[in-house]
């Protein structure tokens, strides 16, 4: 019988990669915490209706990509693994009356999302996002704050060759006139559009602007621009966003064909791309969604946010740097029944004192254990054999210099501050 393999579109995140993930999550947590954002952890699956109403039934995400199934309730309920994070956060905001306190809610989340897509580098069917949502402000400064935070996270991680594209998709009242103008322009080219765009022509024509098909891209180059159909309020908001980006020193370029793939977006839409990622260039994307909270049954609440794809981010980090190494202080080697028992006790006491300690569990000869100690990255090795077990001592060996000293175990545990200083100075 053959071994069971992971499903296509999923992958194991192995220990040698986890350091990159922890580094990204730690930096994001620090930067967002300094900006007064609080973490929220919504469920991984929700009622399907949430995404149908929130994302839009005419979108590819709802129409083609969601993992949806009936649960075991009576009668059965349609349940969906979350394909994105915003709808769940908004549902939590409404259900838990987070708006009741007034003011602005600054929230962030991270975790797995699920879409049935064609797997490729940086795109999986189970993928991970880091996202932020600011609920309760229609101020253009909120748009720029979330963009600035995404930029800070990416730059702090050492990413280069980043490009910010921005556009305005306007208010809902701006959309019908532009939609009609776009359809009127595209209809004569209907047979020349790719199959997906032909389908979108009636259901969701704005998504054609985002097509990756080269033939369709050439056709839409001369299409009417949404920015020319914005009302005065939408124009004012977008002009303020651009000025504020300039004021905080963030470079950007206007991309009049940039639209987001989810129906809830209004006004500002943006993407941060990396020239180092090839076809899957977008690392972070988001925008404003002023109508979504009311659409899902909550009070009228303006909002803005973004999602950052961690798989794509990690591809860039792996290109830029070596895997972050785990910092090991001490490696404990032991041989003999009494010594092995005492080594376990000593390792636990040193861990409680704040040291990172690896205990060799192999029972191998000392020579093999010493080789593993050298490979572990530890600064020093603690050695217990039969003689040390009998005399209640331990041999402290500094791995870089080879210097050794015998200590009573009581003395070792009494000198933890000095031992910490010696370890830190030996790195």
Question: Tokens at residue 339, please?
Answer: 């010594």
Which residue's structure tokens are 């109508």? 291
165 Cβ contact partners less than 8 Å away, ≥ 6 residues apart: 252, 253, 254, 255, 258, 270, 271, 272, 273
210 or 100, greater pLDDT:
100
pLDDT in tens, 299-318: 999 999 999 999 989 988 88
Residue 250 burial by Cβ neighbours in a 10 Å radius (0-12, 13-18, 19+): middle
- Name the region of 249 (left: φ>0; alpha: ψ -120 to 50; beta: rest): left
Q: Judge whether 55 and 88 are in contact, CB under 8 Å.
A: no
- Kindly indicate the confidence band of residue 59, based on its pLDDT and cuts at 50, 70 and 90: confident
- Kindly indicate the confidence band of residue 278, based on its pLDDT and cuts at 50, 70 and 90: low
15-174+230-320 and 330-421: same fold? no
Tell me how crowded residue 278 is: count the other CB atoms within 10 A of its CB: 11
Look at residue 260 in the predicted model and tell me its pLDDT: 67
Residue 370 reports pLDDT greater than 80: yes
Residue 287 reports pLDDT greater than 80: yes
| Boundaries of every domain in the chain | 15-174+230-320, 330-421
Question: C-alpha distances in angstroms, 164 versus 31, 154, 161, 167, 272?
Answer: 19, 12, 10, 10, 5
Q: Judge whether 423 and 380 are in contact, CB under 8 Å.
A: yes
Look at residue 280 in the predicted model and tell me its pLDDT: 57
pLDDT in tens, 336-357: 999 999 999 999 999 999 999 9
> Domain spanning 330-421 has what CATH number?
3.40.50.800
What is the Cα 287 distance to its own chain's centre? 17
Look at residue 326 in the predicted model and tell me its pLDDT: 73
Which residue(s) pair with 398 in the sheet?
380
pLDDT in tens, 234-265: 999 999 999 999 999 999 999 988 876 556 78
Residue 378's nearest CA partner among 357, 408, 364, 351 is 357
Q: Judge whether 272 and 263 are in contact, CB under 8 Å.
A: no
Structure letter (DSSP) for residue 306: E
- For domain 15-174+230-320, give its CATH number from 3.30.930.10, 3.40.50.970, 3.90.1150.110, 3.90.650.10: 3.30.930.10
pLDDT in tens, 95-131: 999 999 889 999 999 999 999 988 887 789 999 999 9
Long-range CB pairs of 346-350, under 8 A, 24+ apart, other chains included: 346/382, 346/384, 346/394, 346/409, 346/412, 349/413, 350/413, 350/416
Residue 57 reports pLDDT greater than 60: yes
Structure letter (DSSP) for residue 402: -
- Kindly indicate the confidence band of residue 198, based on its pLDDT and cuts at 50, 70 and 90: confident
């Amino acid at each position: 019988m053959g071994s069971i393999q992971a499903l296509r579109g999923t992958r194991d995140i192995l220990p040698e990669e986890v350091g990159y993930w922890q580094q990204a999550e730690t930096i994001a947590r620090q930067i967002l915490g300094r900006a007064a954002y609080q973490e929220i952890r919504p469920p991984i699956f929700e009622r399907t209706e949430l995404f149908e109403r929130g994302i839009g039934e005419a979108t590819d995400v709802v129409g083609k990509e969601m993992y949806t199934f009936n649960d075991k309730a009576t009668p059965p309920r349609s349940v969906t693994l979350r394909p994105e994070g915003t709808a769940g956060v908004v549902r939590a905001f409404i259900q838990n009356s987070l708006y009741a306190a007034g003011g602005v809610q600054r929230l962030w989340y991270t975790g797995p999302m699920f879409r049935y897509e064609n797997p490729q580098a940086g795109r999986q069917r189970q993928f991970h996002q880091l996202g932020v949502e600011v609920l309760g402000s229609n101020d253009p400064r909120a748009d720029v704050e979330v963009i600035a935070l995404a930029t800070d996270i990416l730059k702090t991680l050492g990413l280069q060759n980043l490009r910010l594209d921005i556009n305005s998709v306007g208010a809902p009242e701006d959309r019908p006139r532009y939609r009609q103008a776009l359809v009127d322009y595209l209809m004569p080219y209907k047979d020349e559009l790719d199959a997906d765009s032909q389908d979108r022509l009636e259901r969701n024509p704005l998504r054609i602007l985002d097509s990756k098909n080269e033939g369709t891209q050439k056709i839409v180059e001369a299409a009417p621009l949404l920015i020319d159909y914005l009302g005065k309020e939408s124009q004012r908001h977008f002009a303020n966003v651009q000025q504020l980006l300039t004021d905080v020193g963030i470079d950007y370029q206007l991309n009049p064909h940039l639209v987001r793939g989810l129906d809830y977006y209004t006004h500002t839409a943006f993407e941060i791309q990396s020239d180092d990622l090839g076809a899957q260039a977008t690392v972070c994307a988001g925008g404003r969604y002023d109508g979504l909270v009311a659409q899902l049954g909550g009070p009228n609440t303006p909002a803005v946010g973004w999602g950052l794809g961690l798989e794509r981010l990690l591809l860039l980090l792996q290109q830029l740097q070596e895997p972050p190494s785990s910092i090991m202080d001490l490696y404990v080697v032991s041989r003999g029944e009494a010594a092995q028992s005492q080594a376990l006790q000593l390792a636990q006491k040193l861990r409680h004192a704040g040291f990172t300690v690896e205990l060799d569990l192999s029972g191998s000869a000392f020579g093999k254990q010493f080789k593993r100690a050298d490979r572990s990255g530890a600064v020093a090795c603690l050695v217990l054999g039969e003689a040390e077990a009998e005399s209640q001592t331990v041999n402290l060996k500094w791995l870089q210099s080879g210097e050794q000293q015998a200590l009573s175990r009581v003395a070792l545990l009494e000198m933890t501050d000095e031992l910490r200083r010696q370890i830190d100075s030996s790195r």
